[in-house]
Amino acid sequence: MGEAIVITSGKGGVGKTTTTANLGTALALQGKKVCLIDTDIGLRNLDLVLGLDNRIIYDLVDVVEGRCKIHQALVKDKRVDEKLFLLPAAQTTDKNAVTPEQMKSLVDELKREYDYVLIDCPAGIEQGYKNAVAGADRAIVVTTPEISAVRDADRIIGLLEQEEIEPPKLIINRIRRDLMKNGDTLDINEITAHLSIDLLGIIIDSEDVISSSNRGEPIVMDPNNKASLGYRNIARRILGESVPLMALEDHTKGMFKKLISIFSK
Amino acid sequence: MKKQLVHIKGTKEGLVLRLDDQCAYAELVEQLKRKVSEGGIDGKVDVQLHLGKRYLSTAQQDELITIVQGPGNMHVSKVHSDVITIQEKMEIEQASQCETYIGIVRSGQILNAIGDIVVIGDVNPNGKIEAGGSIYVLGNLRGIAHAGLKGDKEAIIVASHFEPTHVLIDDKIEIMSNEKPFVKENAEQIFAYLNKDGHISYERLQEVRNIRPLLSTVKGGS
């Protein structure tokens, strides 16, 4: 029996879809069987980030309304063999086409076959959110170091705490090291103290994330990228390993400076 | 001879009408009407109605009051009964109780209390606490706090870290801004209350016992 994890944020544009795609790929690379569900009905784009858009035949609404079987609608990612699947959202209808009860039975069915079912939640706290949360066992809240994103994360955590699921975990996405160091954005400690939930990991902002998304290739495929490392670490933490939090300092500094920073601790 | 159901007594505060609590209500109304129309009272008098162990609904009370005030020279100042309903008792009890909430009041959440409330945890921005009595936050108060919801002007708002966006006591509202240096500088140890002029004021926590001595339920500390 697998586990269903919903990835949500409240605010839009903080990186839920990118996080879902990358965590899913990272878990699949670790040898787990993963199914991703895009619940953003009417505004689907998880398929694009994974580069699977041209292989969609059936979608979530087709499955729910009985026009096809689940396995017919699942799109296989060929890069990670037989491990990563996507259940795409419908593009022609809206969030009200599915009810939370239907989502729950769908997720329960997928959990029997997959180790992890990652549910990509749409922005907002309306029907789409309720559908996405319905079948989940755990929740991951994605935020960025901006007050607007943190405020919405606070709201969504409040709503998640009323659901019968484990306490949600936090991912702080798109951290700009230079801005955080100068105090121009919220500090990691400030965010975790404010939201007071466990931190699952941090993702350092990288331009490569955008370019790789545009190519339809999750950044975790690139083993040398900082953001990729962040996602891999989070995947390992989801699997139960204890991985230390990534240091914010830039590793490109010279040997001498490194020595100084070691002795000045 | 029929039993007297209405006894009239004179006191310093005016007349007291002691009404029998064993007879039927209709009978009582009948005799009260007769008694009141007898007259013999000069000028205006304040009258208190003592119902004994009889429970009357508000409609019934109003009926008695109109009867007594009918002739025009008597004014009912008070209706006194020895009994109240269980519901009324519960409401009084809840209003005097202190509820405890352990957790965080997050953005968009409203925490309601009939009486006082103690919050063990933070109140985040956009989170709101509404209490009939006082609010005590053992944590950071960064949201909205409304004490004395139903008109309790004695209610206060206390927080370990006092940094709310809005402070409301009774029907007074204050939007916290940077123009309140006292609050900003002393955020750790202050509370909000309504001062004598009816404005929201802030004072160091040590002053609670001088400003609201009645909040204390324990005497001494030997």
State the pLDDT confidence band at A257, using cuts at 50, 70 and 90: low
Residue A179 host element (H or E): helix A177-181
The pLDDT of residue B221: 62
Residue ranges covered by each domain of chain B: 6-80, 90-215
Res A48: pLDDT? 94
pLDDT digits (tens, 9 = 90+) for A182-198: 989 999 999 999 999 99
pLDDT at position A254: 59
ipTM of predicted assembly, 2 dp: 0.77
Q: Is A155 in the B-facing interface, judged by CB distances under 8 Å?
A: yes
What is the layout of strands, in order, in the sheet containing B157-162? B98-102, B116-120, B135-141, B157-162, B190-194, B200-204
Going from N- to C-terminal start, the domains of chain A cover 3-263
Q: What percent of chain B has pLDDT above 90?
A: 38
Summarised one tens digit per residue, pLDDT across range A85-132 is 999 999 998 899 999 999 999 999 999 999 999 999 999 999 999 999
Size of interface A-B (CB pairs under 8 A): 27
- Give mean pLDDT, residues B170-188: 83
Check residue A176 and give its pLDDT: 92
**Average pLDDT along chain A:** 91
% chain A with pLDDT above 70: 94
**Is 90 exceeded by the pLDDT of residue A12?**
yes
CB atoms within 10 A of CB A64: 20
On chain B, the residues whose CB falls within 8 A of the CB of A151 are: 107, 125-126
For residue B126, give the nearest of A151, A157, A196 by CB distance.
A151
Tell me the whole-structure pTM to 2 decimals: 0.77
Minimum CA–CA partner of B124 in chain A: A194
Of B107, B122, B125, the CB nearest to A196: B122
CATH number (2.160.20.70, 3.40.630.10, 2.60.40.10, 3.40.50.1450) of B90-215 reads 2.160.20.70
Residue A262 gets which letter from DSSP? H
In chain B, what residues touch A154 (CB-CB under 8 Å)? 106-107, 124-126
Tell me whether residues A152 and B104 touch, CB distance under 8 A.
no
Confidence of residue A228 (pLDDT cuts 50, 70, 90): very high
With b for 16 or more beta-carbon neighbours within 10 A and e for fewer, the A216-246 pattern comes to ebbbbbeeebbbbbbbbbbbbbbeeeeeeee
pLDDT score for B136: 96
Q: Which of B109, B111, B124, B165 to mutate to test the interface with A (most CBs of A within 10 A)?
A: B124
Give the span between the Cα atoms of B156 and B161, in whole angstroms. 15
pLDDT band at A252 (very low <50, low <70, confident <90, very high): low
pLDDT single digits (tens) B25-39: 888 888 888 888 776
Tell me: pLDDT of B90 over 90: no
Q: Pick the more confident residue, B178 or B34.
A: B34
CB contact under 8 A, B107 and A152: yes
| pLDDT at residue A167 in the model | 92
Decide if pLDDT at A260 tops 70.
Answer: no
The answer to whether the B6-80 and B90-215 domains have the same CATH topology is no
B window 118-147, beta carbon within 8 A of A: 122, 124-127
The average pLDDT across B56-83 equals 86
What is the reported pLDDT for B15?
84
pLDDT at position B1 over 60: no
Torsion of CA B104, B176, B126, B173, to 10 degrees: 100
The DSSP annotation for A217-250 comes to: --GGG-TT-HHHHHHHHHHHHHTT---PPPP-S-
When pLDDT is cut at 50, 70 and 90, the band that residue B91 belongs to is confident
At B40, is the pLDDT very low, low, confident or very high (cuts 50, 70, 90)?
Answer: low
What mean pLDDT do residues B164-188 have? 85
pLDDT tens for each residue of A67-79: 999 999 999 999 9
User: With an 8 Å Cβ cutoff, is A158 touching chain B?
Assistant: yes
List of chain A residues whose C-beta atoms are within 8 Å of the C-beta of residue B108:
155, 158-159
**What mean pLDDT comes out for the span A4-25?**
95
The fold of the A3-263 domain, in CATH, is Rossmann fold (3.40.50)
Domain covering B6-80 in this structure, CATH number: 3.30.750
The Cα–Cα gap between A87 and A257 comes to 49
pLDDT recorded at residue B2: 67
Q: Is the pLDDT of residue A32 over 90?
A: yes
